[in-house]
Amino acid sequence: MQTEKGQSIEDASMQMIEDEIGTHQYNEKQWPIVRRVIHSTADFDFAGKNKIIFHKDAIDSGMNALRNGCSIVVDVNGVIGGLNKQNPKDFGNNIVCNISNPEIMELAKKEGKTRSQVSMRAAISDIDGGVVAIGNAPTALMEVIQMVKEGIVKPALIIGIPVGFVCAAESKEELSKLEEAPFITNIGRKGGSSSASAIINAIFKLIRVESSS
């Protein structure tokens, strides 16, 4: 839980973002998510036109799944570090991160793949109907996209916002074309674990706001 002082600092930060951005293209559910990403990165580029892309069913599908206790599958522990731990505790969400599993490392060496790819394959049962959040590894995102296309998983939401140079922008472009599953992604090289966790935190906040109204 936030302390009163911590909440006042967050509220002031959010107001500064509102004041600096002014008008924007995002709707009433999209904007709190974009604003949370800006808050976590101090990067106002995310407010630009079409910088963050929402599948038409992304937010509602993600809210329904998280509200009902779906698994949250992440590519790296850094995403877990940025999550508000009270949310999965309250809603019963299992957080899955296989990247440091020794068996994953051995299998990745054997198959000539990245640990991120293999870790996603190992989480099939949690990905199907769950929320996937990828902030670091483009190969993890490409693997999830491939699994969706193969028809072996249908996530409730794919948050694909990996940061980097090799295949980061390309993986997100592939995700933006995906028709078989809802997604939230962005254009370009920017992103990261903090952005991925910020999106999850923002969706949980939307759930709580909706529940209290």
| Domains by residue range for the chain, with CATH | 51-212 (3.40.50.10230)
Q: 81 pLDDT exceeds 90?
A: yes
CA distance 34 to 41: 11
DSSP lists the bridge partners of residue 73 as 96, 132
pLDDT, tens digit (0-9, with 9 covering 90-100), for 94-117 = 999 999 999 999 999 999 999 999
Which pLDDT score is estimated for 19? 84
* pLDDT averaged over every residue in the chain: 93
For residue 50, pLDDT over 80 is answered with: no
Residues 127 and 71: their CA atoms lie apart, in Å, by 7
Q: Which helix (H) or strand (E) segment is 157 a member of?
A: strand 157-160
Which pTM was predicted? 0.94
- Separation between Cα atoms, residue 68 and residue 53, nearest integer Å: 24
Catalytic positions? 39
As beta bridge partners, residue 53 has 185
Give backbone dihedrals phi and psi of 74, rounded to 5 degrees, phi first. -120, 160
